[in-house]
Amino acid sequence: MKKLKLILKFFVNIKNWIFKSSLKVKIVLLICLIGLIWFLTSIFISSNKNKQTYQTSKVERGTIISSVSASGQVLTVNIMSATTKASGIVKEVYVKDGDIVKKGDNILKIELDFQGQQKNSQAWASYLSAKNNLENAKIALYTLQSDMFSKWDTFKELATNSTYQNSDGSPNYTNRALPEFHIAEKNWLATEAKYKNQEAVITQAQVALNSSWLDYTLTSPTITAPTDGTITSLMFTSGMSIGSLDTGTSTSNQKVATIETGGNPVVSVNLSEIDVSQVKIDQKATITLDSISDKTFTGIVVGVNKIGETTNGVTQYPSIIQLDSTSNQILPNMTVTAIIIIDRKDNSLIIPSSAVKIQNEQSYVEILENGKPKSVLVETGLTSDTKTEIKSGLKEGDTVITGSSSDSQTNNSSSPFNSGFGQMRIAR
């Protein structure tokens, strides 16, 4: 503005001089004045055209957090279903949503239809058969045990007589090579093997008995709680049909209700190939759910799948995060977003990431010196979404350039790698 006033004053003085001069002088001076006006105007416009403005930020001390983001869903955990294979009409319901139950407590009772009665009877018959098989296996075990002890006594008597044992108690290997000795030994070993095998048969029979009992309870008219917990998602009330009453075909393991047990929710998120190497067990995370927009939950990484799963040519690496707390609003299969904290540093020098430039694998920033940008090499550390840690090259309070704007397309600032000579041109 001061320059503009001086120019205007100069032109006023010129005007007064022109009016006092002769006609020829006036013409010459007028032509010179027009040329001068054009020259000064072009300089003024050019100066304004090339003028740059800079956005800056101060180097500050603070906390910087490096993290990765991943999306996924809530897993079905800490929930067990109460199911049934029975069919008929629900006669009584003993619980409601929110009730606390113990394992074996009654949930509801069914009046079985013909098909339900038939399945229940068949399951009971299978249970009795499995029980009988177990008892028979035990009897066979006792028989084989007796035969094993008998063969052992025969072999022991033979091995310790004077024919197969020397007077000093040492084995007579010459006579023990005779067939009689080997026959007695093999008879004993064979009965021992049969006895051990029968022990495995008993274990198998016990498992079959347990399975048949569980199948029988699934066809029972009374449905009980499979574990301790809180009743949720009760699906039936008195008078409702259940099972295959209308279709005539059996449905297996129809869910009646779910029971929540103790424990916090668990979520699974998918990591990219770049992020998976940074995520480790026990790292902290913050969790948000699309359906619960007003709350943020915290958690900890408890598992990372380093093998990965490939779908449509894209490989993702599931990571399991357990939340530190629970909420009735968190339900299985809800969509989640997790921010996993990789590292954190306090009292660090930090600047906006937009201020950091890279050339020749070296990081530098630009600072203003006498109104002009100057490049300074820096060593960077942690980075977040918007901030970068500076380990060396700057000090607290320095002003760095984060961006610039200009009417001209030319940017005269240079990096420390140009050595003041500008960019090298490639000969054609």
Strand order in the sheet with 229-232: 79-84, 254-260, 229-232, 100-101
**423 in a structural domain:** no
In the prediction, which pLDDT does 428 show?
28
**422 in a structural domain:** no
Q: Phi first, then psi: what are they for 194, rounded to 5°?
A: -65, -40
Adjacent-strand bridge partners of 209: none
| Same domain, residue pair 101 and 232 | yes
The owner of tokens 């809530």 is 74
| Same domain, residue pair 275 and 334 | yes
C-alpha distance from residue 331 to each of 97, 101, 255, 393 (Å):
15, 20, 17, 50
| Same domain, residue pair 245 and 297 | no
DSSP sequence for 219-241: HSSEEE-SSSEEEE-----TT-E
| Same domain, residue pair 239 and 277 | no
| Same domain, residue pair 177 and 217 | yes
Rg (C-alpha) for the chain, rounded Å, is: 45
**288 in a structural domain:** yes
The whole-angstrom separation of Cα 321 and Cα 210 is 35
| Same domain, residue pair 248 and 270 | no
Task: Give, for all 428 residues of the chain, the pLDDT tens digit.
Answer: 555 566 666 666 666 665 666 666 666 666 766 776 766 666 655 555 556 788 888 899 999 988 999 999 999 778 888 999 999 999 999 999 999 999 999 999 999 999 999 999 999 999 999 999 999 999 999 999 999 999 999 988 888 888 888 988 898 888 888 888 889 889 999 999 999 999 999 999 999 999 999 999 999 999 999 999 999 889 899 999 998 644 444 456 889 999 988 788 999 999 999 899 999 999 999 999 989 988 999 999 999 999 988 888 889 999 999 999 988 888 889 999 999 999 888 999 999 998 999 988 889 999 888 778 889 999 998 888 889 999 999 989 888 888 876 544 444 444 555 543 333 333 32
Domain containing residue 160: 84-259
In the prediction, which pLDDT does 241 show?
92
Give the DSSP H or E segment for 192: helix 179-219
**126 in a structural domain:** yes
CATH of the domain at 103: 1.10.287
CATH of the domain at 388: 2.40.420.20
In the prediction, which pLDDT does 36 show?
67
Single-letter code of the amino acid located at 274:
I
| Same domain, residue pair 177 and 209 | yes
| Same domain, residue pair 249 and 392 | no
**427 in a structural domain:** no
**420 in a structural domain:** no
| Same domain, residue pair 208 and 110 | yes
In the prediction, which pLDDT does 251 show?
52
| Same domain, residue pair 228 and 351 | no
pTM (2 d.p.) = 0.57
Pairing of the two strands 314-323 and 379-383:
unpaired
316-345: buried (b, 16+ CB within 10 Å) or exposed (e) per residue?
Answer: bbbbbbbbeeeeeebbeebebebbbbbeee
| Same domain, residue pair 363 and 304 | no
Of 344, 373, 393, the position where a domain reaches its end is: 344
**223 in a structural domain:** yes
Read off the DSSP letter of residue 134.
Answer: H
Strands (E) across 253-354 are located at 254-260, 266-271, 284-289, 292-304, 309-311, 314-323, 335-352
| Same domain, residue pair 93 and 189 | yes
**428 in a structural domain:** no
Count of domains forming the chain: 4
